[in-house]
Structure 1
């Protein structure tokens, strides 16, 4: 078994299809299928079959799925530890949500890393839905961002600790129709919303007057996608 084969298989298991795995890995469908075929031949196990409901895994396929994540994680961890030993430094890999990475991470990371001269910090931005997979595969050491259901390890595989609270607010120009009274859902729906510097994969927000609100693509933009004067002139609503 090679790392490339295990990465391909692990991606198929996680994403549920060869095509999705190929897109994530930057390979062709045939390339991923070739890796799967090699594993099947070496292990003498079909691993999984396609059904109308998706992929059905054999007992051996399920066992390989868990082992593949462990093996790939250990391989990456070993490479990091060898590099650290050679250069006399330690590396802390942090996954963060886009909001945390922009507003809180720089100051907190600088403060934390200043306590240890031999510590290097690597920050990467990911959707919170990927935090669990990143931790379990040892791609990162810690993930920081809004809590989600996928982050909680019911089997004790993850440790989750809240340490910072924040709330989302909306800001409009003084001459905006939203600045007076309580806006109706219809009026909110007509506005151009600016949801953040990197619009999240999920465009749902919780608004006090309306509960959970799903924004359509044509009514939401990123902060950097529109000029500053559009915010001051009342052409858009900033949601943080």
Structure 2
């Protein structure tokens, strides 16, 4: 059985890489120590300089706190003069505005081939002035990939992904690449259509207080850029439609 790399495990579970987590905790601890005893800053700073310049530390691993001290030395004067203990927090509401999504299209209760007719009629009626991009991601015979399809110019782009990726991860990356594509094109309005309901649902119900995967954060960041440049919508569409079926055939 293939071993799953740590980076993939961290990405899928929404965890911060261990070395970044250690650095964050180390910096927090330094600030806490220095708030109680200002001489701690000088001691750690001098130790970090010794680590870089003296022969004693040449073949020895640097004391972690001294190493982390260098990360905040440029900001230290502002920390001291403000006399305010820094507070580490992330306000996703200020970073990522709400986005328009649709999870319950009115045509899904139809049977084939009526569903394709209803889908096309709905898209034409509601998104006549939008450029339409279809996405799909899949794992077939152990090979992972995703694709996007621009129906306006019949342009398709395929992406080969690591074979350890799940279908869900491939679907998320397909949506990200579609948003990036929309950001590069001059048209003002886009609708990105995916047949993966769970991806659209995850983005529309983004929980700002819970751990999120790096891929999901990237999707939110790209959507934030898209909102500044143009109107971009995310839409869930049935996988029985011709365009989505064509996109699926490109994935691997």
Give me the TM-score of the superposition, normalised by structure 2. 0.19
Give me the TM-score of the superposition, normalised by structure 1. 0.19
- Larger RCO, structures 1/2 (Cα 8 Å, 6+ apart): 2
Select the structure of larger CA radius of gyration: 2
